[in-house]
Structure 1
């Protein structure tokens, strides 16, 4: 699904990614890591937002930076999400439905959205998060990429998102980037840890549970 070879991304003297090589198969995959460790940079390269400094990445066999067809197959939710303030949520989702297909109302119902006809400038952070998730899901993409899927959501909405992933995993693939990882583990197949710009651990979710707990307990005790 995603193949990266010696992937590097530098911002001046900052090495956000410093030689990541990884093969991420189909299914539900989760990338975790500390803030500033490189996981969001990897996500944005895979989404076609950043061009790598060097190295190679292919997503669904496509170069996300160069291949326009890539965006028809992939739905992306960024965090924080950016929207034009004066359009409605419906108008925003219809833009994505125009080239990916799908019905905005069906996705809105799935996420419990009842505010599509309000202008986005009136949305709370939680409402904006739901709209961002809806934009990634509309049109039944082959791959859904979500940055921080549970951020800015209440507990009920978090549970709904986890259930949606659990249901849709039969039909599509997911790449999730999150520092809130424990609620997602029941629906995840594989976990990848990116820290210091490098891939430091990876494996099936069953073998990574203890690795994650040890990594995060170590980070807290060292503070």
Structure 2
């Protein structure tokens, strides 16, 4: 549904995006993640034709260009802040963009904003404005939806609601590109991840591929932990401690087992320590920084 190929973006003669390439298939929910200043919002704006770029961006096999936005007709978006008219009601804002009244009513029902639909938007809370922005992005059955921090300002109940809506639309074939700093929440809906760092795509994988990377560490318990530590130090095998356990990296665990075996130390417990999603992302970013030091 979306193809980004070798895209460069310069703003005020500074390169913000460098040779970015990734795909968003129909029905996929792709999380665009990365640290502040990585270029997430810039690349979203670029996909929407709001920023000059070189390279190729295609939406449903149609090229996005500075002068031709035909490809964007089937795209819904929420970037940075909801683009709403404060002196209009929520309903009036939606009617400005809606092409089908029944579709409008369905979207309103899905995002659960009936109770304040006829209030002026200037009186909306942050969460209410955010829901209205998401509703605007979902109007007219878009084939691609781009959401920048969609959970911003939403309470727990609203967050769960929007999560369900995203999954429902994705099951019907709508593609999503979503950025969020709340990785634990994004993880609950996304099927793939594009990691952006310093304007470059450093990873483009499905969630399944990413979470099946080799375990970073193993926790080890022997029948003599003091001796185990001494042996590891002597053999210059790195380790750390966590409670009663020794933590040994994936790269060193076989060497450690050999050392224990040759010195008649018995393993009582050996288990992978599964890093959570956020830790995996942080580790990957740290590895990238070391490569560029």
Distance, in Å, in 2 between the alignment partners of 1:89 and 1:23 is: 34
Alignment of structure 1 residues 183-222 onto 2, 5 Å:
183-209=185-211, 212-216=278-282
* Residues 144-186 of structure 1 deviation map (CA, whole Å, 9 limit, x = unaligned): 1111121111111111111111222111221111111222223
Distance 1:101 1:200, change over 3 A: farther
Give the 3 Å change call, closer, same or farther, for CA 69–101 of structure 1 in structure 2.
Answer: farther
SS at match of 1:187: coil
1:3 is matched with 3
1:218, distance to aligned residue in structure 2 (A) = 7.4
CA distance, structure 2, for counterparts of residue 136 and residue 38 of structure 1: 21
Aligned pairs for 1:144-163 (under 5 A) are: 144-163=145-164
The equivalent of 2:61 in structure 1 is 61
Q: How far apart in 2 are the matches of 1:102 and 1:43?
A: 29
Please give the per-residue CA displacement for 1:62-113, whole angstroms capped at 9, x wherever unaligned: 2334434333311111222232221111111112113x77532221111110
1:4 shift after superposition: 1.8
Query: Runs of 5+ in structure 2 lacking a partner?
Result: 212-274
Q: Which residue does 2:108 correspond to in 1?
A: 108
Contact 2:111–2:131 at 8 Å: present in 1 too?
yes
Q: Distance in 1 between matches of 2:132 and 2:22?
A: 31
- Structure 2 Cα separation of the partners of residues 103 and 116 of structure 1: 15
Distance 2:285 2:70 in 1: 41
> Which is greater in Rg?
2
Distance 1:219 1:8, change over 3 A: closer
> Which 10-residue stretch deviates more, 81-90 or 211-220?
211-220
8 A contact 1:102–1:138 mirrored in 2: no
Matched pairs, number: 219
Q: Deviations over 1:17-55 (max 9, x none)?
A: 011122332211111011110111111111222221x22
Conserved? CA contact 1:76–1:144, under 8 Å? yes
Deviates more, 1:180-189 or 1:86-95: 180-189
Contact 1:78 1:132 in 2 (8 A): no
CA distance in 1, matches of 2:285, 2:166: 29
> SS where residue 186 of structure 1 aligns?
coil
Match of 2:97 in 1: 96
Task: Rate the CA distance shift 1:71–1:218 in 2: closer, same or farther, 3 A.
Answer: closer
1:97–1:2: structure 2 CA closer, same or farther, 3 Å change rule?
same
Q: Distance in 1 between matches of 2:36 and 2:21?
A: 20
Residue 49 of structure 2 is matched in structure 1 by 48
Shift in Å, 1:212: 4.8
Residue correspondence of structure 1 range 23-34 to structure 2 within 5 A = 23-26=23-26, 27-34=28-35
